Structures are given as C-alpha cells and as structure tokens.
Structure 1
Amino acid sequence: MNKTVLLVEDEIGLIDSLKTEFEFENYNVLTSANGIDAVDLFLKERDKIDLILLDWMLPKLDGLGVLRRIKKDGDVPIIMLTARDYTGDKVAGLLEGADDYVTKPFDTEELLARMEVVLRRPSSNHLQGNDGVYRLDDLIVDNDKHQVIRGSHNIQLTQREFNLLLELIKHSGKTFTRDELINSVWGVDFDGLPTVVDVYIRYLRNKIDRIPGENKLIHTTRGVGYSLSLNR
C-alpha cells in the first residue's frame, strides 16, 4: 500500500515540485500552506498519514507550534524543513519530537532517502494514549510515576538514567548520536565530554539488559550511536 505524506509548506512552487516528485515515487500526497490548516487536516486524516514534512516558517502557526499540537494527538513521524541553519532550531525541533531535520536548499534525492529511513523505523505504538506510560516488549517506563519495570523486576534509576531511557523509548528504533542524546538529556549548555553518554548507556545496560532470560533492548550502531529496540 502506498504511503501518505502530509506536506506542510507555504512556498507554492516548492509544494508543486515536491508533490510531483513524491507522486512519481508512489506516495500519496496531502498538502497544507499554513499551520492552522495543517493541524486541522492532520486531525481529520491522521489515520491515513504515514509521514509529515513540516516547514518551520509558516503563516498563522509556525512549524514548532504545529509539531507540538500534532505530537499531543498522535505519534506520526515528522521531518522538519527550514531555511534556517541554526542549531538552536534543530535542537528545539528534535526535543519536541521531530524525527529528522532538513535545511533548505536540499537535494530531493536526499530528502526522499531520509523519508524512507524514517518510514522504516518501527512504529511508536509503545505509547499508550496520553497517560505518560511507554512500553517496549516487557519494559515499562512510567513518566508520571518515575517508575521503570522490566518483567517482574522494579528497576531503580537515577534521574539522569531515567531521562536517558525515556528519550530512547519515546523514539524506539531510532539510532541517536551522542550529540543528540547530550542535547536532549544533558542540555545544549553541557560542556563535558561526549563519552559521558557511553558511561550512562553502560549503567542502563547493567540495570535493563542484564536480567536473565530477557531480550537485549539497548543496541549500539558502531560509529553512529545508540538505540532502544526489540529487534536487532
């Protein structure tokens, strides 16, 4: 079945060219030229939408506002598009739940490749409604209660370990670089060594993945980073 993409962009020429390219690649394409209409269209068609391409600078409601509203009502993958190559924007988008970030001008072939990568990631059906509870296999992370359970084991984590695990399970299947994890867990002002991520991943593995008989959930992609997923 063909995937459906919601393209949210206010440049008419870009909408037309991307729509043509996407349809040539057998995507179904929905379009919106402002933030308010994009949210309304998503709420109406969210069961059909597999991916959103979201411009940062939009009339009526900017891309970050659209991102926040959509993430409250669904977990569809989102790639941000923007002419602003500012690190703060990228970090803000990623922290709010964007799956990727492409700076204009971009090569259409690269964008299509990024779309394919995002669509191949496991769906995030581990989030149960809006109760703040995330599940993957027999791992349960309750954000509101600050509780982690693996099978029949209640696991005690430090605040930093919990925040790191929460970031990984919220986007299970995604491979995070060290820099991405530092920005989202330690903050953009962190001035320590990036190897601190390796240390805390080891802490998590010792608590999450060393339980006899349980599947390994924390994975390393050599030269790239870390992910949380059931299958490797």
Structure 2
Amino acid sequence: MLKIQNLHKSYSTPQGPLPVLQGIDLNVARGSSLALMGESGSGKSTLLHLIAGLDQADSGSIQVAGQDLGQLSESQLAGWRRSGIGLIFQQFNLISSLSVADNLAFQARLAGRHDRHWQAELTQRLGLTQLLERYPEQLSGGQQQRVALGRALAARPALVLADEPTGSLDEASSNEVLQLLLELLDEQATTLLMVTHSPRVAARLQRRVTLSNGRLAPADGL
C-alpha cells in the first residue's frame, strides 16, 4: 500500500541546511497498521506530511497504491488528498462553523463519495447520534476526536494518516477512541500509519518503528 524509498528532507536555517530525514525506506502492507515513534523533533510529522503530499521531499520516492506522489501536479495532489487518504490530527481540526453532521460529511462530499447510509452507520458506531446538530465548541475533546475519525473514514480512504490522534485525550477517552478507530479500519481493510509518543498506543498496532537521527529502525524487532 505504501512504499517509501531513500527519502531525504532537509530545511534551510541561518546556519545552513538542517537534515531531518536521511534515507528513509519503509513498506506498509495494505490493511496493516504501523506506529511511527521517536522523540519530539525527530521528523515524524515531517514524514507524515510528505506522505500526505503536504510537503515535498528533496529526493527519494513515495508510492501509495502504486501511485508515485512525486509525479503528481499540485492540483492532482489536492485531488488525491481529497479521495485517497484520510487525515486525523491531535487538535481535531474540525470546521467550527459547521455542525457535527456537516463536519462528518465534509471530506466525503469533497471526494464525491458521500454515502448517507455509511455516514449513518459511522455516526451510530461513534456514539454521535445525539450530537449531530451541535457545533465543535459544544463538544468534549473525546467527542471532537470521534467526529474527526468519522470525517476521515466517511470517504472510505485506502490509507489513514494519524498524527497523535489521542495525544490530547485522557486515558479513558484515548482507549475508547483508539478501539473504535482500529475496529472500523479493520472492517474496511484500511491501512493505518500513526505517529504516537505513547508505547501503550503503539502496542495496539501491528508494527512499530522508531525514527531517530533521520533514519528508521524497528522499535521492537517487528
């Protein structure tokens, strides 16, 4: 599903180029889950942004379902982000002016894949049925993250990228949200790449790798 080869990325600083990723190689099978770990500033979010097509690598390649992202134009990348992937962020990134129902449908409508039956099932599974007319500011953190999950999954993407999706939640809410996410992804055979600092969260995923000094290594021999 995801194939990364010899990926390099650096940023310009007054002191010169700052290498962040130095020859990343990674393969993630379709329908599997991978936790990406590492210290703050190690480049985890940078790697996620490159995979999402939100930034460009200096060299190397990223292929998702056989599509080389480096060969896509900006407009093609934008279209691919709408339909090919689901993004989940630590800070939810819900649209404050939209109701829960409209936030849930937002991504699927952009992708041209809005399915009211699937959205109704997601709404029920995520425990949001009684909250559809509320707005993000009227929800708890756990409820907002459930909406974010539903939005990301509503278009049935083949790949979900999650950046610390439970990092701002208490442990109980984190466990509930993570369990729902893994169940829904497993049923849809959706691939998951999750950035997390939490060994407890990472242990729930099938594989774990650590990013350190710009390179990847297995976190636990897997």
Interval of TM-score (by shorter of Structure 1 and Structure 2): 0.3 to 0.5
TM-score, normalised via structure 1 length? 0.31
Question: Which structure has the greater CA radius of gyration?
Answer: 1
Tell me which protein shows more strand as a share of its residues: 2
Greater RCO, 1 or 2 (C-alpha within 8 Å, sep 6+): 2
